[in-house]
Homo-oligomer: A and B are copies of this chain.
């Protein structure tokens, strides 16, 4: 999560909402990404999506069955769907997101009968730092 938080800080410095994500396989980091929809001109360029895509390139596979995703913010519906498609084994996330989250809020995607793959989910990891990054970012822009 330390690496994901560093990526979130990079996002903030670039003027993006500070969220970072890391894909880990067998104890090794295989992809790191910072949220970048503005820089990339890509509405899908959340940290999770970028990290999943990068990891899939590293493994040359469209499924990441033995991999874990670490992300500083509770994933949204788009990212939760991508996590299921990627067949990620475990999801570790930091701050909860009552507005846009889709894991413990909103559609609670992994608990739905139409969800075809449920990772093990662990929330609240590095939550304080992840939340502070987001709070400071939005406070500075007000």
Question: Chain B contacts of A41 at CB under 8 A?
Answer: 56-57, 59-62
Q: What is the chain B residue whose CB lies nearest that of A98?
A: B114
Interface string of A16-52 (1 = CB under 8 A from B): 0000000000000000000001101111111001001
Contact check, A102 vs B86: say whether CB atoms are below 8 A apart: no
Taking the closest CB of chain B, its distance from the CB of A86, in whole angstroms, is 4
Task: Bin chain A's interface residue count.
Answer: 35 or more
Given contacts A78-B77, A78-B81, contact A44 B53 (CB under 8 A): yes
Taking the closest CB of chain B, its distance from the CB of A59, in whole angstroms, is 8
Tell whether A90 is near chain B: CB-to-CB under 8 Å: no
A79 to B85, CA, bound (A): 11
Question: Chain B contacts of A53 at CB under 8 A?
Answer: 42-44
A113 to B107, CA, bound (A): 9
Contact check, A107 vs B62: say whether CB atoms are below 8 A apart: no
Tell whether A1 is near chain B: CB-to-CB under 8 Å: no
A100 to B61, CA, bound (A): 21
Interface centre among A38, A56, A99, by most B CB within 10 Å?
A56
Interface residues of A (CB under 8 A from B): 37-38, 40-46, 49, 52-53, 56-57, 59-64, 76-82, 84-87, 99-102, 105-107, 109, 112-116
